[in-house]
Amino acid sequence: MLRKMIYGMVLGFLLILASSEMAPVGATVEYPTLTLYIHRVQAIDPIELGWLENGPELRYTITVWDGETWLKEEHEASSNDDDVTVNMEHAFHLTKLTASYTDIWMRLYEMDGSRYDRVADISSNPEYVAGDQAPPAPRGALYHGRYDLKTNVLTGDVTAKEGGYLKTSGDYDGSIETDQNDASIWFDIWDNYEAPVAYAGPNQECYPGEKVNFDGSSSTASSGSSIVRYEWDFENDGIVDAEGEKTSFTYQQKGVQSCRLKVTDSIGESTQDLCTVTVLNPSPIAQFVFSPPSPTILDLVYFVDQSDDDEYITDWYWDFGDGTSSALQSPTHDFSQKGDHIVTLTVTDNNGAQNSKILTVSVMNLPPTAHFNHTPNPRTNTDVQFTDESTDPEDIPLSACLWEFGDGYTSELQNPTHKFTSKGDYDVTLTVWDDENATSTFSMKVSVTEPPPQEVTVPIPLWVIAFVAIVILAIGISAIYVRKRGSRATT
């Protein structure tokens, strides 16, 4: 049975490929094939043929609706027996079908040699049946079934499973009398059709204003059909926005969107699939400028926020690279140390997205200021103390100094002493260097004079000194004696 089914599917597929009546431009449309396998026919009651009764062979006709016309196949039994094993397969290519179901009529009869045939009753339906396949027939003569290709369910006249086949019989109409022309047919039915499967593609992410490409080419149809229509509803609002196997759409609204794909196959069956498109919140664009462009530690630096967002920014965070920070939108800052400072601005928008911008602020070096003093007033051939009073704005010790005394002598000491050998005016110059080799020079006119003349002194002889000392001593002793005598006289 499986071999016969495969044979029928392959045959149907080849015949469908040969047909292009409904195929859209540039595509080959496939249509399903319905196969009926007649296993056995049996006349239960003698079919009334008059004097020819039991003579001619049993014949049957199968008529299937393809959506526009009736397809008919006929077969005559190989003998005139009342019970004949047929084992005949009949394939019907439903190229006009626009629904998932079709109607099937089967008629069993004997030819009487005239233009009329004698029809056997193979139906459970007790009513008269007339159709365009045959002249009016006795009640219950024709089998009528409706087969759904999508569900593989056969409805209509009563059938029973017997010996692995479906059996339709005139006995199923409740008649128990003979000569009712009752007969039976054992058959099987199948198709090569399955409902389509839509696939809208994987879930995707994008930003507002970005084009999103959709590809429904992975949607599938069975070998008995083709997908002939792709309908896209990009926002799942029930409105078809585009058609075609591949398309694109640009989302403007942030959030999770559902895109629905509906595919319809060549018999009109449809199925749907959803994919989600997450329209992301774009990060803000952090940007700022500062002035002056080359500040020093004496300058106040102005930072101006120039960040942008598709909605609005709610938070600013500044990291000045020197251990300090600010949450103002456009702050000012003074740097206490020269050098390169990595300044980072991080902004946050109303949806929580963040972005950062980094710039380097180079705080420039300030040159030192040279200055000195000296003590005492310079005299020739006397030591003059020179004292360095230079300063550096960054409070960084100076790296070097050079004294030029104006008399051809120099020194690299910070606080040197120097003797001028001749009087006159000397331009003493001090040059200092800081840690970045910036220099400063200070000059001072130093006037060197001769020392004053020394006073001449005559040495006093020793005897004179001794005589003066004796006189002073004698005067002192006489004063003491007079005072004592005056005290006695008073008493």
3-class SS at 475? helix
For residue 174, pLDDT over 90 is answered with no
Beta bridge partners of 248: 213
Residue 461's pLDDT is what?
80
15: confidence class by pLDDT, cuts 50, 70, 90: very low
Distances (CA, A) of 277 to 165, 251, 271: 50, 9, 20
Q: Please give the average per-residue pLDDT across 437-459, as a whole number.
A: 86
Lowest mean pLDDT among 119-123, 244-248, 252-256: 119-123
Cα torsion angle, 161, 166, 170, 173, sign: positive
pLDDT digits (tens, 9 = 90+) for 411-427: 999 999 999 999 999 99
Which H or E element spans position 110?
strand 101-111
> Between 439 and 489, whose confidence is greater?
439
Q: Residue 104 CB: number of other CB atoms within 10 A?
A: 21
Q: By percentage, how much of the chain surpasses pLDDT 90? A: 66
Alpha-carbon 122 to chain mean position: 66
3-class SS at 12? helix
333: confidence class by pLDDT, cuts 50, 70, 90: very high
Q: Residue 472 CB: number of other CB atoms within 10 A?
A: 9
> Between 174 and 273, whose confidence is greater?
273
Distance from C-alpha of 244 to C-alpha of 16, rounded to nearest angstrom: 23
Residue 50's pLDDT is what?
43
User: pTM of the entire structure?
Assistant: 0.61
Beta strands 270-279 and 204-206, pairing class = parallel
How is residue 124 written in tokens?
A: 């459970």
Residue 245's pLDDT is what?
97
Residue in the structure block whose two tokens are 């027996």: 81
Q: Residue 59 CB: number of other CB atoms within 10 A?
A: 17
Lowest mean pLDDT among 75-79, 327-331, 335-339: 75-79
Residue 467's pLDDT is what?
81
Distance from C-alpha of 407 to C-alpha of 397, rounded to nearest angstrom: 28
3-class SS at 472? helix
In what order do the strands lie in the sheet containing 339-349? 325-326, 313-319, 339-349, 354-363
How is residue 157 written in tokens?
A: 């006249």
Sketch out the chain's domains with CATH numbers.
Answer: 2-191 (2.60.40.150), 204-279 (2.60.40.10), 288-363 (2.60.40.10), 372-448 (2.60.40.10)
* Average pLDDT value for the chain: 86
Distance from C-alpha of 356 to C-alpha of 347, rounded to nearest angstrom: 6
Dihedral Cα 379, 383, 384, 390, nearest 10 deg? 170
Q: What angle do CA 294, 300, 305 make, to 5 degrees?
A: 80
DSSP string, 307-344: -B-SS-EEEEEEE-SSS-EE-SSS-EE--SS-EEEEEE
Beta strands 372-375 and 160-162, pairing class = unpaired
Phi, psi of 258 (to 5 degrees): -110, 130
3-class SS at 11? helix
Q: Are 58 and 77 in contact (CB under 8 A)?
A: yes
Q: Please give the average per-residue pLDDT across 340-348, as a whole number.
A: 98
Residue 112's pLDDT is what?
60
Lowest mean pLDDT among 18-32, 36-50, 185-199: 18-32
Distance from C-alpha of 226 to C-alpha of 456, rounded to nearest angstrom: 139
For residue 48, pLDDT over 60 is answered with no
Q: By percentage, how much of the chain surpasses pLDDT 70? A: 85
Which residues 6+ apart lie within 8 Å of 137 measured at CB?
107, 119, 128, 129, 130
Q: Residue 243 CB: number of other CB atoms within 10 A?
A: 11
For residue 167, pLDDT over 70 is answered with yes
Which residues 6+ apart lie within 8 Å of 327 measured at CB?
315, 316, 317, 318
For residue 309, pLDDT over 50 is answered with yes
Q: Please give the average per-residue pLDDT across 359-367, as a whole number.
A: 97
